[in-house]
Structure 1
Amino acid sequence: MTVRLDELAVPVIAAPMAGGPSTPELAAAVNRAGGLGFLAGALKTAQAMAEQIAAVRKSTDRPYGVNLFVPGTPGDAAAVAAYRERLRPEAEQWGVTLPEEIGPDRDDWEAKLALLLADPVPVLSYTFGLPTAEEAAAVRAVGTTQVATVTTPEEARAAQALGMDALCVQGPEAGGHRGTHRVTDRPGELPLLELLPAVREVTALPLIAAGGLGDG
């Protein structure tokens, strides 16, 4: 099931956009055009992800990908509490009760991984971090090609050490949506066209350029 990115008829990969835009129909259309279609597995249940995977399989016999958000550690509790206090007057004005504590959101991570191990997909990509070594090994064992989103050469080294097959290099042109591996990290400012060769210096893995692309 290993996918060779350099064998795509058109060297374009559809960005897996969580929240609805990355439909099975869009993934299949990108495949028909010669690229690699992608589903956004994040921000939905494992069951909803499974339903979209089934829809893609009915629409195309070419490889496709699924993206997951890696659960991160909670942010700065003090900063969250301070933000809550800033919001409180407006919340009270509109009769909204703010939560006094926000628990970790794992985005159904364990259930999604279990599903993808039991019923593998051709490509699985990760954003906002990396899986554990055990998780990466399990995905590798079922033959899925793994892609890690990275924003710095340091993150690229970590992804390579974990055995990723390719890297999605995301530059600052991506705007506020940056795939740093830790929520507390300040996103780098090195432009994408400079970040790509900086990452290439530390790894020979295939690189996918991402972030604010407007042309070839």
Structure 2
Amino acid sequence: MTLLERLKMQWPIIQAPMAGVTTPEMVIASANAGILGSIGAGYLNADVTKAFIQAVKKETTKPFAVNLFVPNVINATRQELEEAYNVLKPYREKLMIADEGALLSTTDFNTQVDVVIEEDVKVCSFTFGLPSEDVIKKLRDHDIFTIGTATTIEEAILVQEHGLDAVVLQGEEAGGHRGSFIEPFQLVPLQELLLQAQGKITIPIIAAGGIATKEQLQHAIEAGAEAVQIGTAFVVSEESGAPNVHKQQILLADEDVTALSNVFSGKLARGIENDFMIFMEGNKIAPYPYQNDLTKSIRARAQELGYYSLMSMWAGTSLHLVEKGTVQEIVDQLTK
């Protein structure tokens, strides 16, 4: 059975699970357009994850995925966190944000896995690492299709050996966070990853990174992928939860204006280069997810005021090739 048959997809496209951008409307529209919609649940707690899933199930009976962030071991002292917090003081002052500290996040990962099972979600994908054997067994026992994320062939081999059903090969061109989990982290172009996978990866491959046109999609399929995962093209969709200023900065781009940076979240991510990325480089950065917690109020206030120079505007290298429209219209552009 092919990946498309297993996941009941008309087209070999997966809507990327973009945490903070994905809405129920986007996932529903993706399912109705014949592609696999994905809930980006990485920053959600179990209750919100459940409500999100139920909102989607209310409007479609088609399969969709839930993406979870695998918890990482974090080593950070109170002093390191205070240093990283104090570095951000000028930005809080500029945006008139009270100096009241930051609420540090905790993980609901295991409870989210239980929610995925309870709600009978058909697909569960993972980013930032490998779930435990117990988690994979629980999902397999409930006939849930599992997908891992890899940014190198070494990571892809581990995803395969760990028993997941498919792997997203994320090229360096991809927007948003890198799914890397083996150090030292490497930046490998998508086409090179697909070439390296030949003869080594036997589970279905999903190509991700810089895919925004029908031609790029076809090229990835011809190189061995059974499907592609697309994010930036759907960020600008009408159903997207991205701020309008984020969508406009993507649509106004006439070339690749992205850069990789860890200053917003503590993990390397690709987005439209702006002042915050430039001026914060070289300063004390807390490890993920704590840096994400420390910058959350800055990003939220900047969004309220339309200060895109201080926002995290994730986008891949092909941002200048995307066009606005509904999810259905964007899928039509990619397939017809």
- Using the size of structure 2 for normalisation, the TM-score is 0.56
SS state at 2:117 partner: helix
CA deviation profile, 1:98-129 (whole Å, cap 9, x unmatched): 57xx97x5431121112223333100000000
**How many pairs are equivalent?**
206
SS state at 2:12 partner: coil
Mapping of 1:79-98 within 5 angstroms? 81=79, 84-85=82-83, 87-88=85-86, 91=89, 94=93, 96=99
Q: Is the 8 A contact 2:66 2:116 kept in 1?
A: no
SS state at 1:137 partner: helix
Q: Is the 8 A contact 1:172 1:187 kept in 2?
A: no
- Residue 91 (structure 1) shift: 3.1
For 1:139 and 1:200, how far apart are their aligned partners in 2? 28
Residue 131 (structure 1) aligned with residue 134 (structure 2): no
Gap change, CA 1:4 and 1:66, over 3 Å in 2: farther
Aligned identity (percent) is: 35
Q: Is the 8 A contact 1:42 1:107 kept in 2?
A: no
For 1:164 and 1:90, how far apart are their aligned partners in 2? 40
CA deviation profile, 1:81-111 (whole Å, cap 9, x unmatched): 5574365366399562557xx97x5431121
Question: Corresponding residue for 1:196?
Answer: 194
- Residue 147 (structure 1) shift: 0.3
> In structure 2, what residue type is equivalent to 1:16?
P
> In structure 1, what residue type is equivalent to 2:207?
A
Unaligned stretches of 5+ residues in structure 1: none
Question: Corresponding residue for 2:212?
Answer: 214
Q: Is the 8 A contact 2:170 2:209 kept in 1?
A: yes
> In structure 1, what residue type is equivalent to 2:11?
V
CA deviation profile, 1:110-151 (whole Å, cap 9, x unmatched): 211122233331000000001001111111101100000111
Gap change, CA 1:85 and 1:140, over 3 Å in 2: same
CA deviation profile, 1:5-43 (whole Å, cap 9, x unmatched): 233211110001101x21111111111111111111111
Q: Is the 8 A contact 1:126 1:148 kept in 2?
A: yes
Question: Corresponding residue for 2:110?
Answer: 110
For 1:44 and 1:172, how far apart are their aligned partners in 2? 26
> In structure 2, what residue type is equivalent to 1:192?
L
CA deviation profile, 1:20-70 (whole Å, cap 9, x unmatched): x21111111111111111111111111111111111111111111110000
For 1:122 and 1:160, how far apart are their aligned partners in 2? 19
Mapping of 1:1-216 within 5 angstroms? 4-7=2-5, 8-19=9-20, 21-75=21-75, 77=76, 81=79, 84-85=82-83, 87-88=85-86, 91=89, 94=93, 96=99, 105-175=105-175, 177-182=177-182, 185-215=183-213, 216=217
